Structure 1
């Protein structure tokens, strides 16, 4: 898995500007890429100089325009690092004890059932995760994450169905929203996913009470950008 651009060229700057202007986004869409080895990190991208959570890393790119990579040692949240393929799952997360003690489930068994269905890359598959605002990304993204209002999520959902129609099947569990729901699942499934956010991401990454999270495969970007102005300008659009 090299850092080769997609075969169909995409102007990320123009696409980001379209998303930001049409939706009135607060901040930028965030480009994310998985680097399986250190050699897959493009020259000139710095390592993050602090240890924080994946959701906080997304916020650095989204709100502060930061471009960086983060190896396992820079990922503070073990659950997020595990879902992104950077670290082994901890025993307390695997057996349900971690979230049970946080009061999120009635039993450790209920927690374990949830954890077993969390989307995740194979451990060791990822050396580092790369982040950048979409408009200035120096790498070819694999996943794009957007944080915005429910109304904008409606328009993004309608835009994903504009060409072929169908239904959107969002998957989330109220935990690990930005890491597992919006990033890992999107990367693994090749489908967009919408998430309510989680307590951790809302506490640490600046997601507002009036915002949700969406991840979509970077390959979908041209389709979304084409459909979005049509959907938002349609006679039946609010």
Structure 2
């Protein structure tokens, strides 16, 4: 990463606090050194994605004019990758070598390409980018990697507006079970410019 540190996300049985900050804001603050232990955060879409509520964001998506019809908004909400109802807290910290469920990185496109190449190094199967340009940090790069695959997103209006990561960065979520394999492969694949 050119700016900040990778962010560790760990679902834990520890008792967390309620936060008014949005999940993507918590991630961005952790990128620059802060740590959080939260049982809830301030984003209704994030709450739906991270298992805090069953209330779909389809009405919000439609009323905010993100979609041209109620059916499109309903489809978009139903396609979000989300976690089952959880009773746990989320520990969000700058990565320092400890346990994590998902590691979030903000990378320039070339660095993202190398990470994808490292992921495909062992078996050649391509990484699948699954995004609708919504719920990027919570759905695309946290909930989706919890299924064991890397999440890659160009971002979303909410995360870019509220956490203000730069226009030339992509968000990447790496599940813990792939991190060692990807790290080892990064040392073996050719550099972009040799």
Structure 1: gaps spanning 5 or more residues = 1-23
Shift >4 Å, 4+ stretches = 47-50
- The 3 A distance-change label for structure 1 pair 148 and 48 is farther
Cα deviation code 1:49-97 (max 9, x no counterpart): 841011011111112x12221112xx1101101111122325xx2xx32
Cα deviation code 1:179-214 (max 9, x no counterpart): 011001111x21111111001000111221111111
Number of residue pairs the alignment of both structures matches: 193
1:11 is aligned to none
2:158 pairs with 1:203 = no
Is the 1:84–1:126 Cα contact (8 Å) retained in structure 2? no
Once the two structures are TM-superposed, the CA of residue 229 in structure 1 deviates from its matched residue by 2.8
1:71-220 to structure 2, matched below 5 A, reads 71-72=39-40, 75-90=41-56, 93=57, 96-123=58-85, 125-135=86-96, 137=98, 140-187=99-146, 189-220=147-178
Distance 2:23 2:145 in 1: 15
Distance 1:32 1:126 in 2: 16
Structure 2: gaps spanning 5 or more residues = none
Is the 1:84–1:184 Cα contact (8 Å) retained in structure 2? yes
2:11 is aligned to 34
2:25 is aligned to 56
TM-score (norm 2): 0.92
If each structure's strand is expressed as a fraction of its own residues, which one has the higher value? 2
Is the 1:100–1:106 Cα contact (8 Å) retained in structure 2? yes
Distance 2:91 2:115 in 1: 24
TM-score (norm 1): 0.76
Distance 1:186 1:136 in 2: 19
Q: Which moved more, 1:79-88 or 1:153-162?
A: 79-88
If each structure's helix is expressed as a fraction of its own residues, which one has the higher value? 1
